[in-house]
Structure 1
């Protein structure tokens, strides 16, 4: 909006410095609670998230978690948004790195790049898939994961473009997730199993 002289009108924060500090502190506290809920969700699934477990993780009072998140559904929804955001950010980082380098050559290099965008690093695979399956019991989490899927798919499209694959990202994720669950249930290596199947679709 412009002022009388045609210049953009500056919005002035009329809160006192003390009030601004309280608001900023409250925002940080709310974010801290949400991050703790997201971590518990990743580790234990929706059943592990409660106001009490989150308060214990943060080291705050139970009343503080209910102040910022009156309902558990609200807390679970925010935790779900954080988690899908983390997975999308991982895929975006892989895409950005791939776009700055020569395209990978050979099936091993291609599948390794795609798997970096699709799978969590380290030994978090079992917990990752257990909580994804458990999320079906919590509508706020499934809704958050479904809503954030477009961003994850968009990052994977960028990765697939670098390996010159026209395979839909939804199919790639379905193959990787299916391979992971199968491998985990049979005691096989997840990445090796997923790589073998990916070679048929990329």
Structure 2
């Protein structure tokens, strides 16, 4: 069946537009990781992406719009990668090892993500997008427990461990994180293991 030339051209423009948008978001995160959120300008992001400033402003009229999109992209991309790599039946220890491997493989990306989350505390326009991350990690915790306190503890532990590793320039310890996750998400089993080991 022949393709309508006008439709094909429109599809091509949409594809190129989506590719450019993704390049700009990736570039924005590299700028954030390197220079902090205050270093994000249309000019800096365009240069990092290898496109014109006018193209950057075409896709993102304001810096806040760009940062919001970058925050959303970070959470969605990580959620997609985890879903592709880790089965829903994975144990808390498996989850811990996945997070540690991701963190240690790309510390700069995690640094950029945390930079944006903290930046959102001062920029109300970013908060809704920033809160998508703890909401997503809370959903992960609910695979294992329906205790609200345990869910909150999991979210805090994951982010706290990541921030501490960045501050101390140390790798994220997968085994230690696994023990923490198991204690938080499987307290009954952990208690039985402790009692059995103390005999």
Question: What is residue 79 of structure 2 aligned with on the other side?
Answer: 88
Gaps of 5+ in 2: 187-199
Do residues 33 (structure 1) and 24 (structure 2) align?
Answer: yes
Gaps of 5+ in 1: 1-12, 105-109
> How many residues are aligned here?
175
Root mean square deviation, CA, Å: 3.3
Question: What is residue 53 of structure 1 aligned with on the other side?
Answer: 44
Distance (whole Å) between structure 1 residues aligned to residue 46 and residue 40 of structure 2: 10
Question: What is residue 65 of structure 1 aligned with on the other side?
Answer: 56
Residue 131 of structure 1, CA deviation: 4.5
8 A Cα contact 1:80 1:144, kept in partner: yes
Do residues 145 (structure 1) and 126 (structure 2) align?
Answer: no
8 A Cα contact 1:41 1:48, kept in partner: yes
What are the equivalent positions in structure 2 for 1:102-117 lying under 5 Å apart? Answer: 110-111=92-93, 113-117=94-98
Question: What is residue 172 of structure 1 aligned with on the other side?
Answer: 154
Higher helix share: 2
Distance (whole Å) between structure 2 residues aligned to residue 50 and residue 68 of structure 1: 13
Point out the more displaced range, 138-147 or 126-135. 126-135
8 A Cα contact 1:34 1:79, kept in partner: yes
Distance (whole Å) between structure 1 residues aligned to residue 119 and residue 69 of structure 2: 16
Question: What is residue 181 of structure 2 aligned with on the other side?
Answer: 198
